[in-house]
Amino acid sequence: MKNKWIHAARPKTLTAASMPVLTATALAWFDGTFKPIAALSCIAFALLAQIAANFANDYFDFKGGIDTDERLGPARAVASGWITPKAMLRATFLMLVLACLCGLALILYGGWTMIWVGLACIVFAVLYSTGPYPLSRYGMGDIFVLVFFGFVPVLFTYYVQINSFPISAWLLGGMMGLLSINILITNNYRDIETDRKTNKYTSIVLLGKGFGKWLYFSTGVAASTLFCLFFWLQNAPFVGSLSVLFLVLHITTWREMIRIDRGRELNKILGLTSRNLLVFAILYVFGMWLVK
């Protein structure tokens, strides 16, 4: 297969790593400080750590017997025979090392605390798929995404540029985390039957597809609500109405997910969900530009 490593990196999921950093940088600029080297280090770390997590998931799901011939989602590189398990494991460690090297620059901006933040990100990126209690297999994936694709990247991208944790950064972290959860929900909703057979207890396996449908819908509405609250606190409530544009896309995607309900056709929902996150981030940055 051409571009097998690009496929293994799962580019459709990378908005979940990049958008929190980019929006947090825009917030720092809005609040009067923009440090380009710190911002670039954050985005490089986030993308490399996400790719490492995707590689690790590919490897460990193959080893754990989760990626079987019945899989409905996009083909996995190791299970499909495009990349050997040994090569994937080496690539995982390489991405982790590169992420750590990129993150070292952040010590200059955030102090030695950034070492612990970076280590936590790396450790949980691996523990998501492996270890004695893999988070993805025991209903903890949603919480992991909220924390490590929402609050952590937003708060610390902002911190290394301004050295504070204002309420605006917490609100933004919530928005990004909630919308990133929908990428995970899309995968787990599609894979509910195969996950049950392989004893992968996602929240949707535990609570059912009905829960998954309404969780997807609710996270988008909650993120839009936080969007409106953010701009209300900036004394620009009219700018919050921009979230309606996102909601139209979100609800359209949600209805399409319900219509399809099962099968490989649900794979297109992943791309649409990633697009919606990108649109939300653009609307947020545009809104701040209007207020600025």
How does pLDDT run across 89-137, given as a tens digit for each residue? 999 999 999 999 999 999 999 999 999 999 998 888 777 777 667 777 7
Under the banding of pLDDT at 50, 70 and 90, the label for residue 32 is confident
| CB 187, CB 10: distance < 8 Å | no
Which residues make Cβ contacts (< 8 Å) with residue 223, sequence separation at least 6? 174, 175, 178, 179, 246, 280
| CB 242, CB 288: distance < 8 Å | no
- Supply the pLDDT for residue 51: 93
Q: CATH number of the domain that 76 lies in? A: 1.10.600
Domain-located, residue 99: yes
Closest CA to 12 of 284, 275, 282, 249: 275
Residue 176 has pLDDT above 70, yes or no: yes
> Which residue's structure tokens are 């490089």?
44
| CB 140, CB 128: distance < 8 Å | no
For residues 187-206, average pLDDT: 87
- Supply the pLDDT for residue 66: 62
Domain-located, residue 4: no
CA separation for the pair 55, 90 (Å, rounded): 10
- Supply the pLDDT for residue 68: 59
Domain-located, residue 7: no
- Supply the pLDDT for residue 183: 92
Domain count, the chain: 1
Domain-located, residue 47: yes
CA separation for the pair 292, 289 (Å, rounded): 5
Domain-located, residue 134: yes
Residue 144 has pLDDT above 60, yes or no: yes
- Supply the pLDDT for residue 1: 47
Alpha carbon of residue 239 to chain centroid: 25
DSSP 75: P
Domain-located, residue 51: yes
Domain-located, residue 223: yes
Task: Give the structural domain span for 100.
Answer: 12-291
- Supply the pLDDT for residue 138: 79
Domain-located, residue 280: yes
